[in-house]
Amino acid sequence: MSGPVVLITGATRGIGAAAAVELARRGAEVAIVGREPERVAATAQQARAAGGGAAVHEHVADLARVDEVRRLAAEVLDRHPRLDVLANNAGAMFTARHVTPDGFEQTFALNHLAPFLLTSLLRERLAGGRVVTTASDAHGAGELDFDDLPFERRPFRAMRVYGTTKLMNILFTRELAKRAPELCATCFHPGVVRTGFGKNDGLLYRAGLTALGPFLRSPAKGARSLVWLALDPAAASISGAYVVDEKVREPSAAARDDALAEGLWDRTEALLLTAAA
């Protein structure tokens, strides 16, 4: 039997690129998703050169846009008759407030709405497979507000917004494991990694992250849990779990709150219905 088919978003930088290359090296058939065609092509070339021998596919999409997520899902369903793993890795922290064409704050749209919608649209094709979502220990600083879930009225504080979306990732994983028992749904904290994270805008953030660079994890080390969760047989039995360094860890109390997880799911569905109207 050929290796598993893995679709990985945010695959052209940092953790995602390192994971794509390692997955390919291990014989997985990798479908790379990124926003910039040139970077997608470059990462695909590296993955093919890794020597695993399986096919490497390229998909271009801006996942901060709901219509682009829907287009990507349709393209994936058309091109891939089999899908074993969805790695929801795309994410960012924007240091200033930006609004997408759908009217959503960009961090929220990319980090939460995109993986939620993409997973929903690919769920049937993934039956029996795995969904791995890149979360973060920054979730401990997150605060859900169901009266202002998409950050329309609250003051914009970059780390608080980012942490809240990472809390959403863990709650999404928890609820997905309950609502889709045919899937193995997991999420993980990659550590603090040397990537483009936090450098989208803001000189202060860029300078601070550059200074810290020598003390941060390499992308390859940050990608280890993603690869383990995608491929290792031992990871197939831990649905709903939050993982750090290939070990199950307990996230914050808020991230274990079943009422929050259920409420977030229902409100996210309602927001996406509004966006589609």
Structure-block tokens of residue 20: 């794509």
Phi, psi for residue 240 in degrees, rounded to 5: 90, 0
Question: What span, in angstroms and rounded, lies between the C-alpha atoms of 147 and 193?
Answer: 33
Q: What angle do CA 131, 148, 186 make, to 5 degrees?
A: 15
Q: Is 162 a catalytic residue?
A: yes
Q: In what order do the strands lie in the sheet with 184-189?
A: 56-60, 29-34, 5-8, 85-88, 130-134, 184-189, 242-244, 247-249
The sign of the torsion formed by the CA atoms of 247, 249, 251, 256 equals: positive
Question: What span, in angstroms and rounded, lies between the C-alpha atoms of 129 and 131?
Answer: 7
Catalytic residue among 104, 151, 162, 188: 162
Q: What is the DSSP letter of 193?
A: B
- Pairing relationship of beta strands 184-189 and 130-134 according to DSSP bridges: parallel
CA distances from 218 to 25, 81, 142, 194, 221 (A): 18, 34, 25, 6, 5
Q: What is the DSSP letter of 127?
A: T
Contact indicator for 88, 117 with CB cutoff of 8 Å: no
What are the start-end ranges of the H helices in 36-95? 37-49, 66-79
What residue type is 82 in one-letter code? Answer: R
The residues assigned a catalytic role are 162
